[in-house]
Chains A and B, each alone.
Chain A
Amino acid sequence: MEIALTDNELIGAMANSDEQALIELHRRYAPYLRAMARKMLRDRDDVDQCIQDAFVKAWDAAGSFDATKASAKTWLVTIAHRTVLNKIRGGRLETVPLELWDSPLNPPNHVTRIVLEEAVARLEPYEKELIELAFYQGYSHSQIAQELSQPLGTIKSRIRQALDKLRSFLEDPKGGDDRDN
């Protein structure tokens, strides 16, 4: 297996039952997904089980993965996030259609990571806290409003503002979030 294969090429190989391709994708992303899951779950065994389950789901879905449309990175993160939420919610199954995982971003490398870090760094501390509660802790809007003693409408608008800021920067790093202002 060539280390230089792209994520999409690895998934293509997974669709042909190439176990080594799965292992390579696992090496690239599982450490990040484990960090995410550790923020969401207390039990380390649950964390590792969820990450494993996420990659098993990716293995099973690889055959229907459209390499011309999808980014493995967003695909894997979404699968893993939903898998952990599923665990938190006691077994509820959630899916995401494959066609939603299109992404303008490239596979992770040093430059990409810098861009990602810069995007996240643009969030205000309170925006990071909101994203933490919503994305990592699985809180609903009303739960966050109660936790932070703020109006529900304020919470909703601020979460949206934070996500808009992120996606705006990622879509056009040079333009930053000025476009939305």
Chain B
Amino acid sequence: MTTKANSPISEEMLMDYALGMLSEGEARAVEDHLQNDPAAALLVKSYLNALSAIVLTEEPEALPEDAEDKLLEAIRNPHATQAEVISLPSKDSWNPKPWWLALAVAAVLALITWVSILNNPNRQINQALQQAQSQQGAISQSLVNDKQETIGTLVKQADNSLLVIFKEKPPPAQVYQAWEIVNGVPVSLGVWNDRLMKFESLTEGSIFGVTLEPPSGSEQPTSTPIVLFQL
């Protein structure tokens, strides 16, 4: 079974998709491709079935006694217990604006300042920061706003994992929303109410960004990014 001739999506990429190895942007590209390539869709199905077989041959584990009660509570009160789910922007919806580019340059230049450790009263966050900074190949940079005030620290690992720690929580009625921008397309990485954000193995060459958004997040960035970092 092969994918369509001249397809930008290789069979290897389809396998990686089934394994969950792709970045969200790559996964979206595969999903778009599968709409028009039945052979590729069939291959992905068979990979997913194979992986399901592995899971379903595991020795089943007993569930907590209250698991069902909690599940019912979650569906009855979704806003109280459900994990964050936000809509994602379509590729077509992303129209890069000059301020993104200008700010990207400004922010990258601003991020050249090295910092040691934030003056942070939260021990757990400080420990996470120190641990991240101590990893071999880690690069730590300060995050500054347009007034050149330090607003946090970003630590990049050799595998493109990121740890971002802000000095303050987001303002009231706002959240931090992270984005991975691949080929000019911002894809949401989620929203955060806290100071600490972690990301695993982002795409090489992509741009990582953070904006302040309404509590439920936004489909695409609606405010000037407070962080832009070229991976």
Residue of A nearest to B11 (CB): A160
Give A7 Cβ to nearest chain B Cβ, in Å.
12
A82 to B17, CA, bound (A): 11
> In the complex, which residues 60-95 of chain B have their Cβ closer than 8 Å to any Cβ of chain A?
60-64, 67-68, 70-72, 74-75, 78, 81-86, 88
We find that the number of chain B residues with CB closer than 8 angstroms to chain A is 62
Which interface class (under 10, 10 to 19, 20 to 34, 35 or more) fits A?
Answer: 35 or more
State whether the Cβ of B51 lies closer than 8 Å to any Cβ in chain A.
Answer: yes
State whether the Cβ of B139 lies closer than 8 Å to any Cβ in chain A.
Answer: no
A119 touches B53 (CB 8 A): yes
> In the complex, which residues 131-160 of chain B have their Cβ closer than 8 Å to any Cβ of chain A?
159
Q: Is the interface of A mostly helix, strand, loop or mixed?
A: helix
Given contacts A135-B20, A141-B21, contact A34 B63 (CB under 8 A): yes
For A77, list chain B residues within 8 Å (CB): 48, 51-52, 55-56
Give A28 Cβ to nearest chain B Cβ, in Å.
10
Residue of B nearest to A102 (CB): B45
Contact of B200 among A32, A52, A55, A90 (CB under 8 A): A90
Residues of B whose CB lies within 8 Å of any CB of A are 11-12, 15-16, 18-21, 24, 27, 31, 34-35, 41, 44-64, 67-68, 70-72, 74-75, 78, 81-86, 88, 159, 178, 188-192, 197-201
Q: What are 22 inter-chain pairs, A to B, with CB distance below 8 A?
A: A23-B72, A31-B62, A31-B63, A33-B55, A49-B83, A52-B70, A56-B71, A56-B82, A56-B83, A77-B48, A85-B20, A86-B83, A90-B198, A90-B200, A91-B190, A91-B199, A92-B189, A94-B20, A100-B44, A108-B56, A140-B159, A159-B19
Residues of A whose CB lies within 8 Å of any CB of B are 19, 22-23, 26-27, 30-36, 38-39, 48-49, 51-53, 55-57, 59-60, 71, 73-74, 77-78, 81-83, 85-86, 88-97, 99-105, 108, 113, 116-117, 119-120, 131, 134-135, 138, 140-143, 156, 159-160, 163, 166-167, 170-171
